Amino acid sequence: MAESSAATQSPSISSSSSGADPSAAGGGGSPGTSPALGAKSCGSSCAVHDLIFWRDVKKTGFVFGTTLIMLLSLAAFSVISVVSYLILALLSVTISFRVYKSVIQAVQKSEEGHPFKAYLDVDITLSSEAFHNYMNAAMVHVNKALKLIIRLFLVEDLVDSLKLAVFMWLMTYVGAVFNGITLLILAELLVFSVPIVYEKYKTQIDHYVGIVRDQTKSIVEKIQAKLPGIAKKKAE
C-alpha cells in the first residue's frame, strides 16, 4: 500500500515541478529586460551627467569651449552678426574642402565622388511618431509650469508666494548689475565647475548644506506659526 501511494504521489510531484519551470523561466526572463529598459530610460540624462562631470575630458572641453565662445561673442556682438559669422565660417570650411577634394580627384583622375556623400545620405527626417512623443513630453512640462504659475500668483500657499516675491526682489538687484548674457556665462561656468567640485568635496559640502537647510527650515516654521491662516490650516 505504501509503495502504491508513493507511486501515485510521484506523478503529481513531477507534474508540479515541471509546471513550476515555465514560471521560473519567465521570472528569470523578466530581469533580463530591465537593463535594456534602464538603459533606454537613462538616455540623454546620462549623457548630460557624463558631460558636466567631465567623464570625457575632450568632449566636455569641446562643448564647454564652444558654448563659452558663443556666449562671449553674443556679449560683444549682436545675435545677427554672430549667426552670420558662424554660417560664413562653416561654409568657408565646407566649400574649401569640397574644392580641395575636387582638385585632388582631377589631378589623380580618381572617381571618389562627393566628399560629403556619406553625410548627405544620412536620413535625418523626423517621423510623426517621434514628433508626437517629443510634443507629449514637452506638454507634460508645460502643464506643470502652468499649474505652478497659477498656484504662485493666486497665492494658494502664502509662504511660497512670499518666497517668489523675495526672489524677484533680489533679482532686480542682480539685473541692475548683470545682463542676460552675463548671467548665462556665469551659469555655464557654474554648471561645468560646481558638479565636479561637489563630487570631490561631497562630505564637507553636505555637512554645511545640512546646517543651512536646518536653519532655513526653522525660520520658515517660525514664520508659518506667526501667520494665522497657515497655522489654522496646519491645525486642521
DSSP per residue over 136-204, as a string?
A: HHHHHHHHHHHHHHHHHHTTSSHHHHHHHHHHHHHHHHHHHH--HHHHHHHHHHHHTTHHHHHHHSHHH
Going along 60-145, which residue ranges are E strands?
none
Are 188 and 70 in contact by the 8 Å Cβ rule? The answer is: no
Average pLDDT score over residue span 117-137: 87
CA distance 87 to 83: 6
**pTM of the shown model:** 0.57
Per-residue confidence band for 118, with pLDDT thresholds at 50, 70 and 90: confident
Give the range among 12-21, 59-68, 90-99 with minimum mean pLDDT.
12-21
Domain coordinates of the chain in residue numbers?
Answer: 49-111+132-224
Residue 14 has pLDDT above 50, yes or no: no
Q: Which residue has the higher pLDDT, 44 or 107?
A: 107
CB-based contacts of 153, cutoff 8 Å, min separation 6: 161
203 versus 24: which is more confidently predicted? 203
C-alpha cell belonging to residue 6: 508513493
The pLDDT of residue 20 is above 90? no
Confidence of residue 25 (pLDDT cuts 50, 70, 90): very low
Of the ranges 5-9, 85-89, 147-151, 153-157, which one carries the lowest mean pLDDT score? 5-9
Backbone dihedral region for residue 178 (phi beyond 0: left; psi -120 to 50: alpha; all else: beta): beta
Q: What is the pLDDT of residue 109?
A: 81
Average pLDDT score, the chain: 79
Instruction: Tell me what pLDDT residue 230 has.
Output: 55
Find all residues with CB under 8 Å of 68, minimum gap 6, and list them.
185, 188, 189
Q: Which residue has the cell 525660520?
A: 219
Mean pLDDT for 193-204 is 89
CA 184 to chain centre: 18
Residue 94 in this model has a pLDDT that exceeds 90: yes
Instruction: Give the separation between CA 44 and CA 47, rounded to whole angstroms.
Output: 5
Region 166-178 average pLDDT? 89
What separation, in Å, do the N-terminal and C-terminal C-alpha atoms of the chain show?
72
Cell numbers describing residue 130: 517621434
155 vs 38, which has greater pLDDT? 155
